[in-house]
Amino acid sequence: MSGEKSPHVAVIGSGGGAMAGALKAVERGARVTMIERGIIGGTCVNVGCVPSKIMIRTAHIARLRGESPFDDGIAATEPVILRDKLLAQQQGRVEELRYAKYESILSANSSITVLRGTAHFTSDHTLGVNLSEGGEQSLHFDRCLIATGASAAIPPIRGLQDAPYWTSTEALASDRIPPRLAVIGSSVVAVELAQAFARLGSRVTILARRSLLLQEDPEIGKMLTAAFRAEGIEVLEQTQTNSIAYANGEFLLTTNHAEIRADRLLVATGRAPNTPSLNLEAAGVTVNKAGAIVVDAAMRTSAPNIYAAGDCTDQPQFVYVAAAAGTRAAINMTGGEATLDLSAMPAVVFTDPQIATVGLSEAEAGHEGIEIESRVLTLDNVPRALANFDTRGFIKMVAEARTGRILGVQAVAPDAGELIQTAALAVRKHMTVADLADQLFPYLTMVEGLKLAAQTFSKDVGQLSCCAG
């Protein structure tokens, strides 16, 4: 960096984006001060991705022990759920990963100083830090990376604030499976945890203001709703919760349709950026109506020398996006030039079946004025799904009509998350449906469904032999 031999970079937060940014900044010659007000590691490893996916996997195993497509030949046994022991196993792995991927790395890096406390801007080059041990410290920086993440957004429902509701944090830390669980919301967190608790023994009711996963292709929500109802999960669409009362260990939810009673209530209506306490106005940092920091493709905010990454920004709320953004912010803070291209960003919802998407949906392509062709391949055309005796789901491929270039893929399938990266590469490399159809795919894999979906643009795949090239 011109004029700065060893620039001082302040990093607010210690999650995926913060760590990636700090490590890259040190690699490029900076010294870093990281400020963390809570637990090291942020949301993903502590109370988000890691514990939720462990719980989801636990629930999947419980489901298979109690019911599978092969019950005629393998006797099913209703599992006994010892949630306290499962929680101990879950939290043990969380602690292992937090130490290995965050705490040990920070303690071994002499170029990173960790301050425990709450940061706020006093100017565009200065932070005030209210130290956890007491007192306040003023911190001058050359560059700053804001990576404070997000927290559960709580809707303004009458009576909710007076009730002991759960967010995902409390739900994942519970050592009991409630007999009856009500879930307000239709977000990714809502559907993932709803199914997990149902498979572990709760009678679950989801209250969706409109429908499940409203932001996705409509067929995705329909397929997931059908799958949930087939498992006994009650999905109430077009349902608005008007008030909540709690008495004698029971929640009473009054809606526009009926009253719902539950032993526990999970509120999962989205996440709000952790920005209100930062005093961003003092630094000249602009936020949108939701309180998210507005950044460009280089992670620059409206204030020179201040960058932001992760869930506190207006970018998609995924830890891998946060980490990629943090890395690029660090490059730019230390004299380099890097941008983040999200045009081929894969996303996965860890329900069963999984939901995975990349690129443009039909609606999004239409909004951009692109003339498209699309095809839907149901899983009864995929040999892997047939061999599994589980044909729930589909693969939809969206292509530009004139060129055949693949614009996007939406998949609902077991292990959809494992096939979507192949689709992401196809989108990234501007492959056509003909290009993809001509590739070699191993037989009896779910990813072979992408080849078959591509072939549907020119062939009737029902008339092809197995593993047809």
Q: What is the mean pLDDT of residues 379-407?
A: 97
Q: Could you give the angle at the alpha carbon of 424 between the alpha carbons of 419 and 428, nearest 5°? A: 155
**Given a cut of 50, is residue 334 above it in pLDDT?**
yes
CA–CA gap between residue 366 and residue 369 (Å, rounded): 5
b/e burial code for range 197-227 (CB count within 10 A of at least 16 → b): bbbbbbbbbbbbbebbbeebbeebbebbbeb
CA atoms of 92 and 78, how far apart (whole Å): 26
Quick one: what percent of the chain has pLDDT higher than 70?
Answer: 99
CA distance 390 to 405: 30
Positive/negative CA dihedral, 450, 453, 455, 458: negative
Q: What span, in angstroms and rounded, lies between the C-alpha atoms of 429 and 426?
A: 5
Average pLDDT over residues 193-210: 98
* Range 439-444 average pLDDT: 95
- What's domain 160-269's superfamily in CATH? FAD/NAD(P)-binding domain (3.50.50.60)
State how far the Cα of 47 lies from the Cα of 172, in Å rounded to an integer.
Answer: 7
The segment(s) of the chain belonging to CATH 3.50.50.60 are 8-152+272-333, 160-269
At residue 468, the pLDDT reads 61
Count of H helices and E strands in the chain?
14, 21
pTM of the prediction? 0.96
Residue 331: other Cβ atoms inside 10 A: 20
For 246, the enclosing helix (H) or strand (E) is strand 241-247
Q: Determine contact, residues 104/92, Cβ cutoff 8 Å.
A: no
Q: With a cut of 50, say whether residue 264 has pLDDT above it.
A: yes
pLDDT in tens, 347-390: 999 999 999 999 999 999 999 999 999 999 999 999 999 999 99
- Give yes or no for residue 255 having a pLDDT over 60: yes
190 against 461, higher pLDDT: 190
Sequence letter at residue 96? E
DSSP 8-state class, residue 130:
E
Rg value, the chain, Cα = 24
Of the candidates 324, 368, 367, the one whose C-alpha atom is nearest the C-alpha of residue 345 is: 324
Place of tokens 């419980």: 62
Report the pLDDT value the prediction gives residue 3, as an integer from 0 to 100. Answer: 47
Look at residues 406, 460, 390 and name the one whose alpha carbon lies nearest to residue 452. 460
Q: Round to whole Å and give the CA distance between 198 and 203.
A: 6
Residues 369, 363: Cα–Cα separation, whole Å: 10
pLDDT score at 1: 47
Q: Does domain 347-457 have CATH number 3.30.390.30?
A: yes
Q: Flag whether pLDDT at 462 surpasses 90.
A: no
Domain 8-152+272-333 CATH assignment equals 3.40.50.720: no
Q: What is the pLDDT of residue 466?
A: 73
Query: Rounded CA gap, 345 and 316, in Å?
Result: 9
Residue 4: predicted pLDDT: 56
Average pLDDT over residues 23-41: 98
Q: Is the pLDDT of residue 259 over 50?
A: yes
Structure tokens at 326: 């943090």
Reported as a pLDDT band with limits 50, 70 and 90, residue 2 is very low
- What confidence tens digit (pLDDT) does each residue in 39-65 have? 999 999 999 999 999 999 999 999 999
Structure tokens that stand for 253 in this block: 């939810």
Largest CA distance in the chain: 74
Burial letters 102-115, b for 16+ CB under 10 A, else e:
bbeebeeeeebebb
Q: Where in the chain is the domain with CATH 3.30.390.30?
A: 347-457
